Chains A and B, each alone.
Chain A
Amino acid sequence: MTSLFASLSFTTPWILAALAVLPVVWWLLRVTPPSPRRIVFPPLRLLLGLGGREETPARTPLWLLLLRLVVAALVIVALAEPMLGQPPKLGGSGPLVLFVDNGWTAAHAWDARQAAMSDALTSANRAGRPVAIVPTATALTPNVSLLDAGSALRATRELEPQPWLPDRARAAAALAKIHFATRPEILWLSDGIDQNDARKTAAALSAIGDLQIYGDAPGKGPLALRPAQNEANGFSTIVFRADAHGSRGGEIAAIGSHGENLMSAQFRFADGASVATARISLPLEVRNETARLEIVNENSAGGVQLLDLNARRRAVGLVSASSNDEQPLLSDVYYLQRALSPYADLHKGTIGEALSRGISVLVLADVGRIAGADYARVARFVADGGVLVRFAGPRMTENVDDLVPVKLRTGGRYLGGAMGWASPQHLAPFPDSSPFRGLAVPPDVTISRQILAEPSVELSDRTWARLADGTPLVTAQQRGKGWIVLFHVTAGPSWSSLPLSGLYVDMLRRVLALASGASPGDMGSGASAVYPAFETLDGFGRPHKAPADVLPIRGMEIGKIKPGPTHPPGLYGVEGAQIALNAVGAKTFLLPIRGLDLRTYSGSASIALEFPFLAIAIALLFLDALISLFQRGYLSLPRRLVAGAGTVLFLAAIVHPVPSRADDAFDMQAALNTRLAYVITGIPDIDQISKEGLTGLGQALRARTSYEPMEPMGVNLEIDDLSFFPLLYWPMDPREKDLSPKALAKVADYMRNGGVILFDTRDLSLGAMEGPNSPGEQTLRRLVSKLDLPPLEPIPSDHVLTKTFYLLQEFPGRWVGGKVWVEALPPADPNAGPRPARGGDGVSPVIIGPNDWAAAWAVDDSGRHLFEPVPGGEDQRELAGRFGINVVMYALTGNYKTDQVHAPALLERLGHGP
């Protein structure tokens, strides 16, 4: 409450001085007697002269006096234009410029900016000042012009934070080009972040006009999330902030690709610290499902880190023939371990052990021949999609199995040895078909020994890396769903210096990416490769379909590009092989604006209380008038009660405009029994026929089947819940009104979830009008054209609808001969032979026909039929009733009858089975 009063401010506070008059009002009200009650009194003559002896004026009761004083006080306060919240203090009458930082750094508290802008515009509107709005984060140079406050308000509503950082210098320059008649007042609604340009911007703006700078309150500044480290048991994340003010906590969540929250972890900034860490522990399988990490409730692009395939972590099995634990620097496994452990979970051991750990990549270092049962298991592993990476070694020079991509020559090739002519070879640039393309080849990598492939036709296709002289260094082949990759050198440095270079790590990472299903052609960043935007983030960190003006990223730009208007943060590339561009990089940091005088945002728009105050005052005056009338005897008790109740109702009507229909009774009635239902068309005679028709059908069902329906119910599509009814009868009439989108959605849901709607176009009654343009069909088309109707066909003779209860081949109602349409069945399987009945999965959501069935079924209270069938005869009526029973059975039992064709087979199996 105290804070409420503290946040109360007045636009014209001097009017409050009028409150000093209140005691005078008090005195006046006290000395003025209340108006007397008026009473007609015939023996007045007897009364004359009796008064006057004790003419002390009756006093207004204290409570009434207080009521009137409150009214007076409310009016005075209302005239002082009270506001809840502190609007920016604006002076002057010149133009107002809103210089708004709208990068992602402002997104976390965009409401506060909006409120500040709205407040400023409200007061500018009062003063009739022109307004210019200059956003600093824009795709193009901002086009600054002076607006009136109304269109400025619209412009600010459309203003949104952008997922990149603002360019203040450009915006200030754009503003400087505007010529102002008088010196403008500039409000810089800053994000509080200094990108080394705050002072310059302030100076530039001060040169243009009178500057006020707003910033977030201390400790409320933006937070940002650096790229996460994918560690052995989870993500390690770093959150940072600009102002190290106070301690502040929060939560980081790992979000799956469907928006599901996989895991979250707390972080807390110590007082004075600008960096906090949080560790999200997740098992590897779940971790690889993570699509993004975000700071919960930060709602800014900087608080989101998108993860691409490179961020996935793989389980890798490492198997080496030689165990050289005592001399790690000579062990192949040691180098593999060092290279892979940041990106993968490693499992060492035998092949059998490794495969049992659910790995996706198996690395074999110098395993010449995979023996026995292991061979079959590895072969199956590869066929099932595993990636087998083999490194050459002394054991591979002699006796190699066929789990290699190319046929190998025995022996090896020695380069640059003491006795050799040739010097150690360098690497050639990677071919374009290779997943390694785009990786820089360090000049100091040399190969001194390798194994050689037999020359063959496929060799060059299977080569991913070559030496400078063209001999293959890395070969690969797809087997089944998986890959076999062979490095023709050892995993350790004994044959080459490759394992000592950074290239080794990069190559292994690319190979790991194979395990996620990427094809080599998609991988790697050829300098000319192009990654179109797949999904981009807006300033609030929400993913959107990429807008058209986003440029694709070129392969050579990856890692260097900074998010900006042309490349907003998001996912780039084709599905399955995307790369993520994040607003915040590993080296991004935020500095607070220092040395400038910042005012803080109030947080919420100030609310003008003038009208609420006046409304309360008027309501109290109304009450006072009622009381006065009562006191003077103009209102008697019952009428007073009515008036009071009327007042209450009036106020209630203001507060609750439309009480929604309480249809619990409807729901209970519909839910407790399975009922037939018809759509209330709003046309009384048609609704009446529908009701009578379903009543008649219900009687037939009751007499002939085990289903005993209760009274049919009318259903208002706009209001009622449809889910209780297996079948809806819906007559068509040109007078029916279109459905609201909500009702359409409800009907679509009903059809999707297994409801059956029997559309009756009823138009054979119109004789010659039969056909696609008959009124009934036109109505049908008009009403349900927005629905997703399945493909239709006339009821085929083997449709299950012809067999659910009675065997029928025609479906007359009151009229005969119209075609009845249902959802098209899947085509009959020619191999299955003739089957007595066919049905799709589930039921046809619609049955459409023109035969006016309800009229044929309709009975009155005494059970007499109401309409004569045409051309007539009890046979037709009987068939119409049978069709109704079939439809109801169809709606209730679905394709159960089609399953019954298996009954003989099942019985046979039961009889003769073991």
Chain B
Amino acid sequence: MLGAALPPLLVAAERLASVVSLGVHGRRKAGMGETFWQFRRYQAEDPATAIDWRQSAKSQHLYVRQREWEAAEAVWLWRDGSPGMRFKSDFSRTTKIDRASVLCLALASLLVRGGERIALYGDGHGPATGRAPLRRIAHELIEQDPQAGGLPPDAPASSNAQFVWFSDFLSPFAEIEKSMRRLAHEGLTGHLVHIIDPAEEDFPFSGRIRFEDVPGSMRETLGRAETVHDAYRERFRAHAEALSAFARRLGWSYLAHRTDKQPELALVALYTDLGGTRAQIRRA
């Protein structure tokens, strides 16, 4: 099960990530990096291989080339795995949870490429960089309990980190607000990615319909569904706006993504929000 589902998810995520080219943002100080920072005088503890012979040949001294230290930031990722996420209407080709997982992994892949440290919020591991956490996160996303709640659990996180929250945000607003406050209090800067199925937003129903939620515990029968069309859309818009407004108040970003839209746009927007640096869709 795991082995079967993992590669497609990873492949989809890698393919998505590969269409985005990004610039690595420098830390403006010497360190592990690709870009040149400064030459400094050779000291005894420096390895001989670190000597830049070409620069040293210009003068009496030996010089060591120092590169800019590209400091990686910790990014906590969290994807909502509640049953409602597994919904797919006839107007979309993918479930919300799949789209969220792909976006989450693609973002993780991009971050790893940029040298950032990533971690899945709530899985007990700290932020790390490289391919290993990427695979682990993919495992976690697939293995996650299908009955998980729609809100991030109360888990430790390093402060001054980023927090990316993939969800459909269909829990009661008060609960969402509470979670956001708690995370903000921990010093995290949040990014809400609101995954929306087109049917949830457009409400393209008419006739006599019995609506059920995913666990099947609640139901609502409408004699003529078309009559509530406008009222529902108004409510949905209000909910999204409340979410967006509260995020802005916390200094967080908010991104709405419909599953019938291309995920690349969302990824680029998200990455730009996250890093504050340029990223663009690579044109082949």
Contacts and interface: CB of A to CB of B under 8 A. Distances in A.
A43 B231 contact: no
Contacts of A57: 208, 223
Contacts of A33: 208, 223
A58 B222 CA distance: 10
Contacts of A431: none
Contacts of A53: 227-228
A37 B221 CA distance: 9
A57 B221 CA distance: 11
Contacts of A37: 207-210
Contacts of B70: none
A40 B87 contact: yes
A54 B223 contact: yes
B231 A50 contact: yes
A488 to B, nearest CB: 116
Report the interface size class on chain B: 20 to 34
Given A42-B170, A46-B239, A56-B223, A36 B232 contact: no
B39 interface: no
Contacts of B227: 53-54
Contacts of B197: 42
A38 B221 CA distance: 9
Interface in A844-903: none
A48 interface: yes
A40 B208 contact: no
B214 interface: yes
A38 B223 contact: no
A58 B170 contact: no
A49 to B, nearest CB: 9
Contacts of A50: 222, 228, 231-232, 235
B172 interface: yes
Nearest to B87: A42
B212 interface: yes
B208 A42 contact: no
A44 B213 contact: yes
Interface in A18-42: 33-34, 36-42
A45 B168 contact: no
B84 interface: yes
Contacts, number: 91
A40 B231 contact: no
B213 A51 contact: no
Interface string B141-153: 0000000000000
Contacts of A45: 170, 172, 213, 218
Nearest to B196: A43
Contacts of B199: 41
Given A54-B224, A56-B223, 10 more contacts: A36-B221, A39-B211, A42-B170, A42-B214, A43-B84, A43-B170, A44-B213, A53-B227, A55-B223, A56-B224
B236 interface: yes
Interface residues of A, number: 23
Interface of B: 84-85, 87, 168, 170, 172, 197, 199-200, 205, 207-214, 218-224, 227-228, 231-232, 235-236, 239
Contacts of B87: 40-42
B175 to A, nearest CB: 11
A668 interface: no
Given A50-B231, A50-B232, A42 B224 contact: no
Given A34-B208, A39-B210, A46 B232 contact: yes
A39 to B, nearest CB: 5
7 contacts: A38-B210, A39-B211, A41-B87, A41-B212, A43-B84, A43-B170, A48-B220
Contact of B200 (A42, A54, A58): A42
A472 to B, nearest CB: 117
Contact of A58 (B223, B228, B239): B223
B205 A51 contact: no
Given A51-B228, A53-B227, A39 B205 contact: yes
Contacts of A56: 223-224
Contacts of A703: none
B212 A38 contact: yes
Contacts of B200: 41-43
Contacts of B84: 42-43
A47 interface: yes
6 A-B pairs with least C-beta separation: A42-B84, A58-B208, A44-B213, A36-B210, A50-B228, A41-B211
A58 B232 contact: no
A58 B224 contact: yes
Contacts of A46: 170, 232, 235-236, 239
Contact of B208 (A36, A43, A48): A36
B224 A36 contact: no
A53 B230 CA distance: 13
